[in-house]
Structure 1
């Protein structure tokens, strides 16, 4: 029996279309008006859920702008920022959560968030969110996982950077604290990620190893990796989302635009529909197409007693004569009656 559960009214599982999450993150650029426009664009594109991140700079780090608290790595997307300033720019004001969630609900979309500490969980509980997401960088924060799991609500955990041992500890902590409904998302915590560094063959292995549903938190550009992950068993796809990458923002450079999100929704559902079951032979819809195979036909007018040769029988379309595999066996046989050109060759003719 396939695993499945509901988040709000939406079913999650292999018997249901992929559950698509549009991650707003900091792409609102500190404008509530823009945040609400992102909600509207996500709903119009067909996303099932809109997700926020719930923290403040002070719940994430210390107000220090040097040393360990300053990003100097030239390969880091956020190089040249202190952690405190980065989180101050990216955070979603907590007073915005309710109007954002309300707008999503009005548009028929689920809305929930990623809490980054226990105060965020308490705040989100006051808003009665339908589910929780644990970010990759928090997937070893056992205290946070226990706090979220104790709500009894569905839990989605990104697995970026985590070893099997670390994931086992996190999954066990979630289960022991009361989590019944769990999805693990394969994730590569680089921004953007490259397809070569994504390793989605991990998806079925993770599913088998932990006995949970799996999905994809996809930081690559485009939709190809997400579509491919559906074929490997992913039931949830999470993608960062913005109105326009050129508008800038902390996560804009690796976020989907509305037309791309719409494509993600359509193509992942097509991939899911295409999985079907193991099947050989013509499907019911293919049955009419059988007549368009090649088969053996009389290609000249013949009289009773004429001998069949390669000059007077041909393997052609349509497929109403004998299968072409009998061609060699037919050569040298005698027709039993007069036959005209275009007659399908059957056993009754010889």
Structure 2
């Protein structure tokens, strides 16, 4: 159960959302897994559903789906065409294992939850559309695995209801995902400060499911503390399908992962200290206590005997008042560093 959270302590988890971008073609699905693995993604994620359990025969398409796929094929027909059966899931899971990438999927019905549990997915990813499907959340929670819960289209009360359905015992194993459920989503509606709101409100780790064009918002989200970045991947944005336009092609996905890793390194551990590379500059630009004139051995040192100048390799200026009144045990030349060994 803790494997996901152990991984999150080491790095930002990058999820390549394949979703239905395989268009029902198992070879395309494998090519997408290969592209995700080569890009440096940690997880290749699919969608698992039974259309008969997911929607009514005449359920409408969303506007973005109509724009991407037209109206000739109904939503029910499209999902029947792109669905993956049990054997497909097993084959793709094994392909992920051989490609050194984690297999994951979002279930949309009880039967799909059971299948993914049998396939030993390390966590359940819950899509935003299911956040009010409390019976499904309760069923997912019954397996006691970590849950990555997307919060698109929701408000804080609905998120509270979802967490209550998951239960107090399993709540600590939840990662909330901020997202905007539009494909592609608009930058001005991204509201990335919600990452802080969710973290502060629920005391849970928060990620970002990015449906915008480009990689910039994912990078900003990492800077804001997102522990998971989920982004759609496609072999070609010109392919027919609902999510291709909001997806990254493999070279773009690789660029995003590389930049995320650089940002992680840049964020550091939050402990304020000087870095090894700063030592040379520190010694040069900081200042020390120096003699403003020749000081003879045996003389009691006065304020007029001292100045503060670069470099910073001598006595720190904070000890200036301590030095005043001490006696020089050696001759100290004008403009030279005052040393403790020459004082008493």
The question of 1:6 aligning with 2:3 is answered yes
RMSD value, Cα = 3.3
Deviation at 1:95, TM superposition (A): 2.6
The question of 1:45 aligning with 2:39 is answered yes
Evaluate the alpha carbon distance shift between residue 198 and residue 5 of structure 1 in structure 2; reply closer, same or farther with a 3 A threshold: farther
Trace 1:303-322 onto structure 2 (pairs within 5 A): none
Work out whether residues 158 and 187 of structure 1, in 8 Å CA contact, stay in contact via their aligned partners in 2: yes
Paired position in structure 1 for 2:320: none
Deviation at 1:211, TM superposition (A): 1.5
The question of 1:139 aligning with 2:150 is answered no
Cα distance in 2 for partners of 1:172, 1:272 equals 32
The question of 1:125 aligning with 2:117 is answered yes
Evaluate the alpha carbon distance shift between residue 74 and residue 278 of structure 1 in structure 2; reply closer, same or farther with a 3 A threshold: closer
Cα distance in 2 for partners of 1:74, 1:169 equals 28
Cα distance in 2 for partners of 1:273, 1:148 equals 35
Paired position in structure 2 for 1:58: 52
Structure 2 residue runs of 5 or longer lacking an equivalent are 288-293, 295-308, 315-331, 340-344
The question of 1:171 aligning with 2:166 is answered no
Structure with more of its chain in helix, by fraction: 2
Evaluate the alpha carbon distance shift between residue 105 and residue 294 of structure 1 in structure 2; reply closer, same or farther with a 3 A threshold: same
Q: 1:285 is paired with a residue of what secondary structure? A: helix
Cα distance in 1 for partners of 2:286, 2:199 equals 45
Trace 1:67-106 onto structure 2 (pairs within 5 A): 69=60, 73=63, 77-78=67-68, 80-81=70-71, 82-106=74-98
Cα distance in 2 for partners of 1:78, 1:246 equals 10
Q: Which runs of 4+ in 1 moved over 6 A?
A: 318-321, 344-348
Paired position in structure 1 for 2:181: 189
Deviation at 1:276, TM superposition (A): 2.2
Deviates more, 1:96-105 or 1:259-268: 259-268
Work out whether residues 77 and 191 of structure 1, in 8 Å CA contact, stay in contact via their aligned partners in 2: no
Paired position in structure 1 for 2:306: none
Q: 1:249 is paired with a residue of what secondary structure? A: coil
Deviation at 1:124, TM superposition (A): 1.6
Q: Give the TM-score, by structure 1 length.
A: 0.77
Deviation at 1:62, TM superposition (A): 1.9
Deviation at 1:197, TM superposition (A): 0.9
Work out whether residues 153 and 179 of structure 1, in 8 Å CA contact, stay in contact via their aligned partners in 2: no
Counterpart of 1:36 (choices 15, 20, 30) is 30
The question of 1:160 aligning with 2:155 is answered no
Paired position in structure 1 for 2:342: none
Cα distance in 2 for partners of 1:176, 1:279 equals 33
* Equivalent residues, number: 310
Cα distance in 2 for partners of 1:107, 1:58 equals 32
Q: 1:69 is paired with a residue of what secondary structure? A: coil
Cα distance in 2 for partners of 1:177, 1:91 equals 33
